Amino acid sequence: MKNFLLSLAFTSSVFAQTAQEKGDLDLRLAQEQLRSLETEITEEESVLINAVEKIDDTVITQGKTLTGLLKAEDNVAGEQRQLNNELARRKGEFEYTLSTLRSYGGSIKDRIHPAEKQGFGAELDARRKKAEDSTSDLVLEVRNRLSLLHLAADRLTKVSGGQRFDGSAVTEGNVVKEGKFAIAGPLGYFASNDGEVFAFTAISPDGVAYPNTAPVKEGGETIADLVKTGSALVPVDASMGKAIQVARTKKSFDQYLKGGGVVGYGILGLGLLALFIAIWKVIEINRFPIPNRKKLNLIIDDLLAHNPEAASAKASQNKGLGGQMVEAGVTYFYDKRRILEDALLEKLGMIQPRLERFLPFLALVAAAAPMMGLLGTVLGIMKTFAMMSAGGAGDSKSFSAGISEALITTAMGLIVAIPVIIGHGMLKSLAKSKFGQVEGVALSMLNGTTELEDSPQSVSSDDEPEDLDETELSPA
């Protein structure tokens, strides 16, 4: 047992020694491997460090390159912005130029003399229409607009030196006449082919085919020489005819009558006739004979005194319908009251129409004169519109002048109607007042019979009762 334990201890000692040696060996091997591994790591680390340094150098280089590229990009972007701004400016200039050409092409017709619209205006319209039809192609449109501009420039060259051409113009009375124009800048002259009209012309708005004229009374021969030969010493109107047109608006009475035409003469004739009738009626009514109160009382006194011969003699001294009424009153004074009333009413029925005769005609004139004036105005407006359809609707001055002339008849109608209405009212009142005086005479004679009936001498057994009440006629 003891030997066994000793053998076991020896074996364990040997084994322990062997394990230690093995452990030392392993340790040395591990240390060698560690040093070898450290050496490899050091070598690989240096390679990696070199590679990293190279990569850093590359990154730095690339960074510098990127910075340069970014700067170049910024420069390119700046140049692009400059180019865009320049392009925008160029585009704005182009659009402004094109807009100016379009505006000029659209307004040039308003700036030329109306007389030129008959020849130059036609060519101008043709080129402008051609330019407007080419708006889809800007280059072609610009060319057409420039062609229009060249045409206008050529026209300015001609006008600056003066030009003459044939055409039509609107003269007095809105009559279109053929003739010849002489244009020098804004000044224009016109001479009709028939040698009746020599006038200035003025710039008019668009829409007028023929220009208006301001005829001159003096200097017409020189204007005729100018339009025929191109050289003459002519009068110059700085207002281009406006001063003459203003002077023409101040019309005389004869000119107003001529402006009214046939209708105006008819209104004037009615007015004069109404005036004569009114004057005659004033004289007739004021001179209408009516017995005065003193003579009438004398006649009634004779009748009450049963002296009809003397009353009849005095009554015959009164003239006119008033005297006839008094004579009728004397004749029927002693008859029944109803007969006397009928006789007096018969005479009154004759007197009233005499006093009021021709007064309805004055009322008719007062109503017809404005209607005739309106008729003349309508005819004048029809004439003006007919003129506008022939010469263009854009000349407001010509239109206003035509309307002004057309309104002359309306003014004449009112001028006649208003005094006639006033005169008719006054004459109506005067006639009514005179008729009231006549009625007073009739009532005086009628009331005189009451005194006759009250006197005892007037009662006769053979007389019939004058008026019977219905109750008296009824049976008891």
**Does the structure show a pLDDT above 60 at 375?**
yes
pLDDT of residue 168: 77
SS3 state at 399: helix
As a whole number of angstroms, the distance between CA 47 and CA 444 comes to: 164
Spatial neighbors of 189 by CB under 8 A, at least 6 apart, are: 181, 182, 183, 198, 199, 200, 201, 223, 226, 227, 234
CA dihedral sign of residues 129, 135, 136, 138: positive
Answer whether 290's CB lies under 8 Å from 438's CB: yes
Q: Are 210 and 176 in contact (CB under 8 A)?
A: yes
* Three-state DSSP class for residue 134: coil
- Sequence-separated contacts (24+) of 120-123 with Cβ below 8 Å: 120/155, 123/151
pLDDT for position 462: 42
In this predicted structure, what is the pLDDT of residue 396?
53
Q: Going along 49-197, which residue ranges are E strands?
A: 163-171, 175-184, 187-192
Closest CA to 458 of 340, 277, 303: 303
Rounded mean pLDDT, 235-258: 62
Distance separating alpha carbons of residues 146 and 163, to the nearest angstrom: 24
Confidence of residue 257 (pLDDT cuts 50, 70, 90): low
Q: Where are the alpha helices (DSSP H) in 112-241?
A: 120-132, 138-161, 220-229
Q: Encode pLDDT of 134-172 as tens digits.
A: 878 878 888 888 887 887 777 777 766 677 777 777 777
pLDDT in tens, 29-56: 888 888 888 888 888 888 888 888 888 8
Share of the chain above pLDDT 70, in %: 76
Which residue's entry shows tokens 């020896």? 10
Element (H, E) at 213: strand 213-215
Residue 391 pLDDT grade (very low, low, confident, very high; cuts 50, 70, 90): low
> pLDDT grade, residue 207 (50/70/90)?
low
Residues 167 and 208: their CA atoms lie apart, in Å, by 13
Is the Cα torsion angle 47, 48, 51, 53 positive or negative in sign? Answer: negative
Q: Which class for 148: exposed (0-12), middle (13-18), buried (19 or more C-beta within 10 A)?
A: buried
**Closest Cα to residue 51, out of 367, 300, 43, 179?**
43
Whole-model pTM over 0.85: no
Q: Report which of residues 463 and 243 the model is more confident about.
A: 243
Confidence of residue 326 (pLDDT cuts 50, 70, 90): confident
Per-residue pLDDT tens over the stretch 178-202? 888 877 766 777 888 887 777 777 6
Output the pLDDT for position 422. Answer: 92
